[in-house]
Amino acid sequence: SIPLGFFGGIGAASKRGILVKGSNYLEALNNLDTVVFDKTGTLTKGVFEVTGLYPAGETTKEQLLEYAAKAESFSNHPIARSIMKAYGGEIEKEALRDYEEISGHGIRVTSDESVILAGNDKLMKRENIDFQQNDEIGTKVYVAVNGIFAGAIVIADEIKADSRSAIARLKDAGVRKTVMLTGDNVQIAEAIANELGLSEVHAQLLPDQKVEQVEILDKNKPAKGKLAFVGDGINDAPVLARADIGIAMGGLGSDAAIEAADVVLMTDEPTKLVEAIAIARKTKRIVW
């Protein structure tokens, strides 16, 4: 039977916007060893803004942005939303076909007779596009039309106001490892890891490579220690399911993520995890 105090703990947590789906997760929060964060929408706001347009060849800036907007018009990814916002106009979706979102890479769509690709360097390499790497700091969306490189769009995201203090407080609370996993490029991943004081970072990961990293981290922790993964749920439901404690950020998170998660942080603040640990510890003192 479940001691009554656990219900008190779950209730106290829910009043603070932390939904805990079972008393076993409160117990696990007491033994947290490793906390793994997804980047976009979790440690960063996930609100991107286009900061640079670098067309290639004959392409104009306007054309570059329009091609990208066509490709991104069906996507819900934060990157897609920033491109649609910068474009500003309406895209005639009826003129588009064979839309495909390639997880961890980007988008492919056919418009009239042109095949448009918009995504990261991995997508360009996979499709054998002869493209030019962009050296600006930021997340890059490379665009190709009918196999010809059309240019790069640089977009910037912002670190959440409380991410840095969340990492410091997790360390104070006894968490041994704080890790960030991202599909984004190494340069931006390392800049963020330094700024936040994370103990480890892995970049350019596909969704299933995030699962593999979590498995490695899981093997390398002490037997009693627990591993939590915190994500926004865009592409990361499998990782949420794999962790001892899968934690979803509720505000941006998809329904699938909230379903797959063991704990839901309703307000998207990383410091909510620190509060959850404090509640778990207090509950333990009452129960045992």
Nearer to ligand ADP, 118 or 211 (CB): 118
Nearer to ligand ADP by Cβ, of 119 and 225: the residue is 119
Ramachandran region of residue 204, left (φ > 0), alpha (ψ -120 to 50) or beta?
left
For residue 101, state whether it binds Mg ion (rule: CB under 5 A): no
Q: Is position 40 an interface residue for Mg ion (rule: CB under 5 A)?
A: yes
- Given candidates 234, 257, 265, 279, which one binds Mg ion under the rule CB under 5 A? 234
Instruction: Considering only residues 57 through 96, tell me which ones interact with Mg ion, judged by CB under 5 A.
Output: none
Stretch that binds Mg ion, among 33-41, 100-108, 135-143, 153-161 (CB under 5 A): 33-41
Residue 207: partners with Cβ closer than 8 Å, 6 or more residues away: 103, 104, 183, 235, 236, 238, 239
Which lies closer to Mg ion via its Cβ, residue 64 or residue 198?
198
Closer by beta carbon to ligand ADP, 45 or else 284: 45
Q: Give contact residues for ligand ADP (rule: CB under 6 A).
A: 38-40, 72, 75, 77, 79-80, 104-107, 118-120, 139, 141, 182-184, 234-235
User: Residues in contact with Mg ion, total (CB under 5 A)?
Assistant: 3
The CA-atom distances, in angstroms, between 125 and each of 47, 57, 87, 147, 211 are: 27, 19, 26, 11, 23
Residues tagged active-site:
38
146 phi and psi angles, rounded to 5 deg: 50, 40
Nearest to 44 by CA among 87, 86, 78: 78
Element (H, E) at 79: helix 78-87
In the structure encoding, which two tokens stand for residue 72, read together? 């991104």
In the complex, the smallest distance separating the C-beta of residue 209 from Mg ion, rounded to whole angstroms, is 13
- Residue numbers of the site for Mg ion (CB under 5 A)? 38, 40, 234
